[in-house]
Amino acid sequence: MMTKQASRLTFFLLVAPAILWLGLLIVLPHVEILVLSFSERVAPRVYAFGFGNYLEFFTEPLYWRTFARTAFMSILVTALTLVLAFPIALYIARVAQGRVKAMLLLLCLLPFWVSELVRTLGWMMLLRETGVISYVLRAVGLADQPVELLYNDGAVILGLVYGGLLFMIVPLANALESLDQSVVEAGFDLGGSRWTVLRRIVIPHAMPGIVAGSIIVFMLTVGNFATPVLLGGKNGLWFTEQIYAQFITRFNWPQGAAFGMLLLLLSSAIVWLGLRLTGQSLGTTLKQA
Amino acid sequence: MAPSTDLDIVNVTKRFGSHAAVDDVTFSVAPGEFFSILGPSGCGKTTLMRMIAGFEHPTSGDIRIRGRSMIGVPANKRPVNMVFQSLALFPMMSVGENVAYGLSCRGVPREDAQERAERMLERVGLKGFGERRVMALSGGQRQRVAIARCLVLEPTLVLLDEPLGALDLKLREHMKIELKQLQGTFNTTFVYITHDQSEALVMSDRIAVMNQGKFEQVGSPRELYHNPATPFVASFVGETNRWPGEIVSSSDGTVALQLPSGMVTQGSGRVSQKAAIAFVRPEAIALAPSQPALRDLPNRFEGRVSAVLFDGANSSLLIDTLGFDQPVRAVLPQAGPLAGIEVGAPIHVGWTADAMKVFAA
């Protein structure tokens, strides 16, 4: 009897930090945000329950257009990251051996030893009008005046893909590594071309890794703030900027809370859709990640 | 002119650095033949097979299939299909898709491929399994899918890389017979790789015994068993007694061999040097309770049973014999006066000069 109680106590003590973490930092603020998002200001310092904040989102084109743009760009960034990361992961998982493999993974990890802000500032130094690329282009004679590469969608996508690459490569490499070499050889042996083997054997096998990596990269991208703001400038128009503006600049917390809930809904919906379309379950995907 | 062989390996050598995994091997396989390559692990048989399949490239020499050189032909363009050791079924596909895979790679329309896959599954006894997941099959069923997946493409040659290794004993015995029957009904040429001499002996029309990258002997199972050409073949294929000694006289295929104890035995073989090694099969050793019964045999000794190793039909006796530093192994008689023999019983052993194969050590 005593031992049973003791083991239960141990269990609670072990899970307590996790429960506190989830409860205090994730569940509680979200409940608060949810409640807040349904409160409308009817008079100075007087708030009442209502859907006004959500209606505002649909009636003001800037809001929902930024929202749609964020969703679309995030999907695009995720797809681009996947396309870029796949060959790298394939190389790391199936070609590189021993030290080279560890080295390559370390190289992918290296940029993350620097803070995101500093990394993004690094991109700004390369891309700005007086930056390195602009200078080189002029020096080689490909441009006759300074070239501004910052503050456009391309720069935002570049920065976001760069930031997401590692989070795509690791689950992909994991998934690809577990593919038995003889299965690939059997694919060739039975007459498959490289493309057939890739399409019918390698990609289906890597599917849990693809989905896991895509979910992580998509979530990181949708919720990113620094990269679109710094590399996109005024043209960044990321939905997180709207949330920031409501909370900090305009001090309209209920509106910001509604936007936050909408963003949460958006990422959940797209992740759910992605899982449905690829026929993967959240369980196998989480195992892979 | 149609070539009379399906596979010709001509002076094939494969080097990894300075090590020759396959060293100047030459052989041919006739259409419809069940050809085995038997050798211990690391003898180069897998490398040889991977070269035929197209996954490795010979350092020198030529590989020809139906007379056409395969040098420079990629694996997916060769009329050769392989059953892998791990079977390598595609777990992401159903059984039917596994079998239809090769057909669809060739551009056969989907419905046609599906139908042919269904028919092939029926022929290997898996009718109606098309929709199942590969993971839901038993070991023997997977085996059949792996073979069906190759045979549906009607290849000139099917390569099998120890496909029975992962099965349990009972199923392995069963699959040996089944594989042989399948090969017979489809009349396809099989090249089978194994380290298990019983698999090779039971199924093959011809066997090549491979050791350290070279072929020691190529012949029918009986030839290999009864007339081994080298000491390696004699000791690797089947159970045998093995005694080193010195040649004291030699003439016209018969030799007199002196054992370290000084005992002289009569054997067969052509050995020009002094140091030699003799092999006698356990079943070639005649047993008798008394000396006179063996009086026609040139080699007669007396001993005492030191152990009875009972294993059904494969039971044997170890006999401590005067003049031999290791016990002599003989087959335990299952009937007659010696059937119930016990440890410690005195016994006489003997064998003909023909039964004792002597080779240079």
Render pLDDT for B166-189 as a digit per residue (tens, 0 to 9).
788 888 888 888 888 889 888 899
Q: Which domain holds residue B32?
A: 7-233
- Asked if pLDDT for residue A234 goes beyond 50, the answer is yes
Number of domains chain A contains: 1
Closest residue in A to B56 (Cα) is: A185
Q: Rounded to the nearest 5°, which phi and psi values hold at B84?
A: -80, 160
Q: What number of H helices and E strands is found in chain A?
A: 15, 2
> Is residue B42 included in any domain, yes or no?
yes
Domain boundary, last residue among B171, B200, B233: B233
Domain boundary, last residue among B208, B233, B258: B233
> Is residue A141 included in any domain, yes or no?
yes
SS3 of B313, please? strand
> Is residue B80 included in any domain, yes or no?
yes
B194 with B244, same domain?
no
Q: Rounded to the nearest 5°, which phi and psi values hold at A232?
A: -95, -20
Domain boundary, last residue among B233, B264, B286: B233
Among all chains, which residue has been given the structure tokens 């079943």? B283
Task: Report how far residue B48's alpha carbon sits from residue B194's, in angstroms, rounded to the nearest whole number.
Answer: 12
- Give the confidence band of A2 by pLDDT, cuts at 50, 70, 90: low
Maximum C-alpha span of chain A: 84
Among all chains, which residue has been given the structure tokens 């990640």? A289
- Asked if pLDDT for residue B199 goes beyond 50, the answer is yes
> Is residue A160 included in any domain, yes or no?
yes
**pLDDT by residue (tens digit) across B311-354?**
888 889 999 998 888 899 999 888 887 888 889 889 999 999 98
B52 with B180, same domain?
yes
A201 CB within 8 Å of a chain B CB: yes
A60 CB within 8 Å of a chain B CB: no
SS3 of B60, please? strand
Put simply, the answer to whether A200 touches B93 (Cβ < 8 Å) is yes
Q: Rounded to the nearest 5°, which phi and psi values hold at A147?
A: -105, 125
**Which residues of chain B does A279 touch, with a Cβ-Cβ cutoff of 8 Å?**
none
> Is residue B2 included in any domain, yes or no?
no
A189 CB within 8 Å of a chain B CB: yes
Average pLDDT value over all residues in chain B: 90
**Which residues of chain B does A205 touch, with a Cβ-Cβ cutoff of 8 Å?**
91-92
Which strand (E) or helix (H) includes residue B158?
Answer: strand B157-161
CB atoms < 10 A from the CB of A258, how many?
Answer: 27
Which strand (E) or helix (H) includes residue B291?
Answer: none
**CATH assignment of the domain containing B58:** 3.40.50.300
Give the per-residue pLDDT at B3.
61
Task: Report how far residue A179's alpha carbon sits from residue A205's, in angstroms, rounded to the nearest whole number.
Answer: 7
The answer to whether the beta carbons of residues B185 and B29 sit under 8 Å apart is no
**Which residues of chain B does A189 touch, with a Cβ-Cβ cutoff of 8 Å?**
53-55, 75-76, 80-82
**pLDDT by residue (tens digit) across A73-102?**
999 999 999 999 999 999 999 888 888 988
Among all chains, which residue has been given the structure tokens 């050598």? B13
B347 with B264, same domain?
yes
The secondary structure of B6-43 as a DSSP string is SEEEEEEEEEETTEEEEEEEEEEE-TT-EEEEE--TTS
**CATH assignment of the domain containing A213:** 1.10.3720.10
> Is residue B1 included in any domain, yes or no?
no
**pLDDT by residue (tens digit) across B232-260?**
999 898 889 999 999 988 888 889 999 88
B244 vs A130: which has the higher pLDDT: B244
B180 with B204, same domain?
yes
B137 with B257, same domain?
no
What are the distances in angstroms from CA B195 to CA A80, B36, B198, B239? 49, 10, 9, 15
- Asked if pLDDT for residue A159 goes beyond 50, the answer is yes
% residues pLDDT > 70 (chain A):
98
Number of domains chain B contains: 2
The answer to whether the beta carbons of residues B56 and B50 sit under 8 Å apart is yes
B82 CB within 8 Å of a chain A CB: yes
Tokens of B102: 């090769």
> Is residue A21 included in any domain, yes or no?
no
A198 CB within 8 Å of a chain B CB: no
Sheet strands (E) in B259-322 = 264-268, 275-280, 286-288, 299-309, 316-321
B326 with B210, same domain?
no
Q: Which residue in the set A188, A193, A201 is minimally distant from B90, CB to CB?
A: A201
B118 with B146, same domain?
yes
> Is residue A157 included in any domain, yes or no?
yes
- Asked if pLDDT for residue A249 goes beyond 70, the answer is yes
Pure H helices in chain B? 45-53, 95-105, 110-123, 139-151, 169-186, 197-203, 221-226, 231-236
> Is residue B244 included in any domain, yes or no?
yes
B244 with B184, same domain?
no
A199 CB within 8 Å of a chain B CB: no
> Is residue A273 included in any domain, yes or no?
yes
B201 with B62, same domain?
yes
Name all contacts of A12-16 with Cβ < 8 Å and 24+ positions apart.
none
Put simply, the answer to whether B150 touches A187 (Cβ < 8 Å) is no
% residues pLDDT > 90 (chain B):
53
- Asked if pLDDT for residue A16 goes beyond 60, the answer is yes
> Is residue A33 included in any domain, yes or no?
no
To test the contact with chain A by mutation, choose from B92, B98, B156 the residue with the greatest count of A C-beta atoms within 10 A, namely: B92
Q: Which domain holds residue A161?
A: 46-288
Tokens of A63: 């809001």
Task: Report how far residue A203's alpha carbon sits from residue A86's, in angstroms, rounded to the nearest whole number.
Answer: 10
Task: Report how far residue A178's alpha carbon sits from residue B316's, in angstroms, rounded to the nearest whole number.
Answer: 46
B220 with B277, same domain?
no
**CATH assignment of the domain containing B343:** 2.40.50.100
Pure H helices in A21-60? 28-37, 52-59
Distance from CA of A167 to the nearest CA of B (A): 25
> Is residue A105 included in any domain, yes or no?
yes
SS3 of A9, please? helix
The answer to whether the beta carbons of residues A89 and A176 sit under 8 Å apart is yes
B263 with B183, same domain?
no
B252 vs A285: which has the higher pLDDT: B252
Put simply, the answer to whether A183 touches B91 (Cβ < 8 Å) is yes
B21 with B135, same domain?
yes
- Asked if pLDDT for residue B1 goes beyond 50, the answer is no
Distance from CA of B146 to the nearest CA of A (A): 10
Burial zone of A264 (CB within 10 Å; 0-12 exposed, 13-18 middle, 19+ buried): middle
Burial zone of B61 (CB within 10 Å; 0-12 exposed, 13-18 middle, 19+ buried): middle
**Which residues of chain B does A182 touch, with a Cβ-Cβ cutoff of 8 Å?**
84-86, 88
